[in-house]
Structures are given as structure tokens and as C-alpha cells.
Amino acid sequence: MNIAAIDPGSYGKVAVLCGGFSDERDISLLSGKAVLSALQKVGVDAKQFDTARQQISELQKYACAFIVLHGRKGEDGAVQGALELMGIPYTGSGVLASSLSMDKWRSRLLWESIGLPMPAFELLHADSDFTAIEARLGLPIFVKPCREGSSIGISKVKRRGDLSEAYTKAAACDSLVIAEAAICWDDDDQGIGGEYTVSILNDQALPIVKIIPATEFYDYDAKYFRDDTRYVLSPDLPPALVEEIKRQALQAYRLLGCEGWGRVDFLMDDNGRHYWLEMNTLPGMTSHSLVPMAAAAAGISFEQLVLSILHHGVHKEVNNVA
């Protein structure tokens, strides 16, 4: 997008929604600060709006909302619904897509219905036969709260008999808990196996990013605070595989009804088999975040990225009415 061709005043007063009530509040504030600075830099009349400190009704003073809330009551469709009731245009996905994407179990059921490859998974309950599930999925197993982000509440079960304890930890964060078979690869950083992500902007897949954490997996600290997490932009993968991954990422994104922008995470084993994990409708926008990295690899500056997201959010409401 050519920033010079757009009148920044045409967007009116923009609320940058950040902070909020979830366990990801601190990261949301960092994302909000970065987005606010970028919008103001290009001349947009943008103000920070912390939904945990300000009344949601105050948003009626604004022309539109740029949402960078992470986690519950922000990424799950709640704020999107409130904005729709007030008739305020907003960035990103709508109510249904946000809610479905936040739910790892239900989004996977949809992806499974069209044949997208995923790790084997099962929903856990307090009365589950944990021994039988360990046998079916094999070890190691990741246990995750279904409706949390940023790796909050996740455990990696490596010993038989530990699944129940991991369930209890995850259940403290969410009543829905999922167990997922681990996808393993060699520790050789030069190999094809590892953790990856595909960012999407305005229905276009951006360059793939490979994530190489120094920790055992890409946990909360590795995502936001550690400086030893390494990232490989546009990793050396077979061109046909890259195209297939991007095609499936868009398929996963569209099936959930996502709009504007997002990020789809996946794993790959050493044989080049990939497995989709989850959809992120409001990814981080901090200095350590993956969407800005992917955008930069595509030649899109941070200012161009946020303005593009804002432009789509403002105009999607007009398109929907038409």
C-alpha cells in the first residue's frame, strides 16, 4: 500500500484497543504501543484505549477501532460483538471467526473436516482415562487450554502418568483442554523439521518464518522476552512445499471466516510433513512478533502494515453493507 496516496485524516479518530483483562494483558499493551506509534507517525489521529481501564461506551466518540487485544474478551469475539452493536468499524476478523479461531478444539474439528493435516488430538476431561490417552497419542504429548494464547497453561508430558497433572494445570486456565501428540524432529538447526508460521495480510500469504527457540518449545518467554530465540525468514524449503503450505494456510484462514490479517502456526517433521496447529486472529505486534517480521520480508514496513490493516477494517463495514 502506498502511504503517500492515502489521507490519514480520512480515518477520523482511531481507538487503538489494547491491554484488556486477559493473562496476555502486558503483551497487548506492548503491541498497542507499537501500533499507536506507527499510526501517529503516518499522521492518523490515533489514541490508546485500554478496555480494562475505560468504559466500552466511550468508544462511541471514535470513528473506528484498531484491535490489538490478545486473549479473552478481546480476541474471542466479545469486543467485536460490542463494536458491531455500536456500529463502529474495527480491524480484523468478525465475531464468529474470532470465537472459532480462539477455540483450538472447534477450529481443528473444522480443519479436520476438509482434510488439513494436524497432529492427533483428543479433548480431555476430569474423568478421562489418562493412561489410555497416553497410549493412543504416544509420548511426548502437549496439553493445552483450548482458549488461551501465548503458550499460557501449556505442558509437555514426557513421562507416563504425568498427563493427569498436566490436565489439572491447563484446566486451571480453561474448562476446555486438549491433548496433542508431539511432532518430533532432530535438533539440527539445518534440518527441515521445526516450528513455523504463515502470516496473512488482506487474503495474501506472507513469507514463511521458521522459529528456533532456545527453550524446549516456543513458550511465553521465548515468544516475547528472550533474545536467544532465532527466526529464519523465508526458510530454504522446496518451492512446491512452500506453495502448498501457503495454499493450505489461506484455506484454513478462509474456512474459519477470518478477515484482514492473521497468522497460522504449524510444525514440520524431518521428512517435510507439516501439521497445522492453530489460527491467531490478533497476533502480537511487538518487537519480537512474527507478523511484522514476515511483512518486512515481503518489503512491507511496520507503518505500511498497520495502515493496511486499518484501511481494510474501515472499509470492510462499507463492503458488508453493500
SS3 (DSSP) at 119: coil
End-to-end CA distance of the chain: 23
Pinpoint the alpha helices (H) of 183-301.
220-224, 239-255, 290-297
Name the residue type at position 101.
S
Residues marked active site are found at 24, 150, 224, 263, 265, 278, 280, 284
Q: What is d(CA 238, CA 193) in angstroms, rounded to the nearest whole number?
A: 13
DSSP notation for 75-144: SSSHHHHHHHHHT--BSS--HHHHHHHH-HHHHHHHHHHTT-----EEEE-TT--HHHHHHHH-SSEEEE
Q: What is d(CA 312, CA 15) in angstroms, rounded to the nearest whole number?
A: 15
